[in-house]
Amino acid sequence: MKKVFLSLSLFLFIFNSGILKAIEFEELSADNKFEIYKESCDQGQMANCYQEAIWYKKNQRLDTNEANKFRSTLESLKAKRKELRKDNPTAELEEDDSTNLKIAATSLGEEEQKRIAQSRYITLRDSACKGGETAACNEKEGKNDNTGSGLLYYTSLLLIGLAVFLIAKTIFQDEDTFQAQEKLDENNKLDEIAKHGIILRYSRPFFKRYFSPIVSGMKNKKGLKEKYRRTLAAAGLTSILTPEDFFAFKLFLILGFPIIFIIMKTFLEADWSLMLIPVLALVGFFYPDLWISGKIQQRQKDVIMSMPFCVDMLALSVEAGLDFVAAMAKVIEKAKVNALTEEFDTVIREIKIGSSRADALRNFAWRVDLIQISSFCATLIAADSVGASIGPILKSLAVEIRQKKSAEVEKAGATAATKILFPMMFLIIPSVLLIVFAPIVLEMIGAK
């Protein structure tokens, strides 16, 4: 009952808001309405140019501001003429002032106001018609018919209110169940989610609640799972997002980015083109793919950076007498928290719940998707299958990994000079040449 009441309240709010807005506008004076129409028409809104034309047709006079300007001009010029005639009774105003006096006096006449209003009505009506305003074209051709506009207005309000009511009812239908589930799921995840960016942090409650159930009900959800399962695993996001959640994230941002754009445009009063909305919707759909691609690259880099220390530690622990699982646990305990220790923790949990060591290592290689890790896991699986001691193998692997890392660092250092060449050519060298030759050129120009 409470949910229905809340939905009904939303419906009544929308309905009454529309009525109040209409009443509020109707209560404005004719001159206030004219100012609103004129301001919007000046900004290129053809519908309001047409309304301005109708105002002139209906009132058959100048607007108050313009009439006041003419009155002010008339009074000031009369006062000026009076001052001149104090010294010389036959004195007259200058030609321009005399002309302005006549124009002001004539324009304030009733017949002249009607003529000006009719002329402006025709001009504004034709301008609105050329600008694509259908009502103005119909008015020009004598076809305009406003009967039923009130009925259409209130019918549209009723339909909008009904749509809001149905949407609100759907939204709040399972709200209690969802909130209970969220409390269970996200008790320990809030800090972890916050690490992955502000967009995921603030959009997750929305797409998780309203888009994920829709995606879960899709027929091709099995294909979505296959498509995004490894991607999420490689990015280390399996505890935060399911494949369905990730696709829901993409769908949500199709609406999310344009909504944020419209809100910013409204509050900043910017003149950004609305043609950007489809572009932002497209960006919203592909943004999660770019974001998760960056996450995967960063995670793989962290794994490679952590490998020498972790594999050394693993080799020392095994040679000290610990078995493989206990050695991994010791590495997790002693090393700083990083992507590789998180993967070691996952391997230990898989082994504890019944997976073989070989399967856990294969899953490890599948998740990380790196040649170095695949080679590391393949070596350990091969040694485990023949019953060989993994201590010496881990030691040789640690030496090999350190050598590879040193080689990669040397390679990166060797390519640094090439990479900095283009910034130097286009940024640094022109600046140096400018500093050196600018004084010489200026001196030569001064000498000439």
Secondary structure (DSSP) of 6-35? HHHHHHHHHHHHHHHHHHHHHTS-HHHHHH
Of 269-273, 351-355, 375-379, the least confident: 269-273
Backbone phi, psi, residue 258, to 5° = -60, -35
Rounded Cα–Cα distance for residues 164 and 218 (Å): 25
- Identity of the residue numbered 116: I
Alpha-carbon span 387 to 393, nearest angstrom: 12
**Is the pLDDT score of 9 beyond 60?**
no
For the chain, the first-to-last Cα distance in angstroms comes to 92
For residue 150, what pLDDT is reported? 56
Whether the per-residue pLDDT at 348 is higher than 80: the answer is yes
Do 390 and 357 meet the contact criterion of CB atoms below 8 Å apart? no
pLDDT at 96 over 70: yes
pLDDT at 151 (0 to 100): 61
pLDDT at 273 over 90: no
Position 360 pLDDT exceeds 70: yes
Q: Which of the four pLDDT bands, split at 50, 70 and 90, describes residue 153?
A: low
pLDDT score recorded for residue 168: 61
**For 72-94, what is each residue's pLDDT tens digit?**
887 887 887 777 777 777 777 77
Task: For residue 135, give both structure tokens.
Answer: 């009502």
Residue 303: partners with Cβ closer than 8 Å, 6 or more residues away: 338, 339, 340, 343, 368, 370, 372, 373
Q: Which residue has the higher pLDDT, 397 or 22?
A: 397
Which tokens sit at 89? 């009774």
Q: Would you state the pLDDT for residue 51? A: 81
pTM of the shown model: 0.57
Average pLDDT on 255-274 reads 86
Sequence-distant contacts of 179-187: CB under 8 A, at least 24 apart? 182/208
Q: How high is the pLDDT of residue 144? A: 57
Six token digits for residue 350 = 């898989």
Is the model's pLDDT at 149 over the cut of 70?
no
Cα separations (Å) of 355 from 323, 348, 358, 361? Answer: 16, 9, 8, 10
Residue 79 tokens read as: 């006062």
Q: Which tens digits make up the pLDDT trace of 391-442?
A: 788 888 888 888 887 887 788 777 777 777 777 777 788 888 888 888 888 8
- Asked if pLDDT for residue 443 goes beyond 90, the answer is no
Residues near 419 by beta carbon (within 8 Å), at least 6 away in sequence: none
Binned at pLDDT 50, 70 and 90, residue 362 comes out as very high
DSSP per-residue string spanning 172-240: HHTHHHHHHHHHHHSTTTHHHHHTT-HHHHHHHHHIIIIIHHHHHTSTTHHHHHHHHHHHHHHHT-TTT
Is the pLDDT assigned to residue 285 strictly greater than 90? Answer: yes
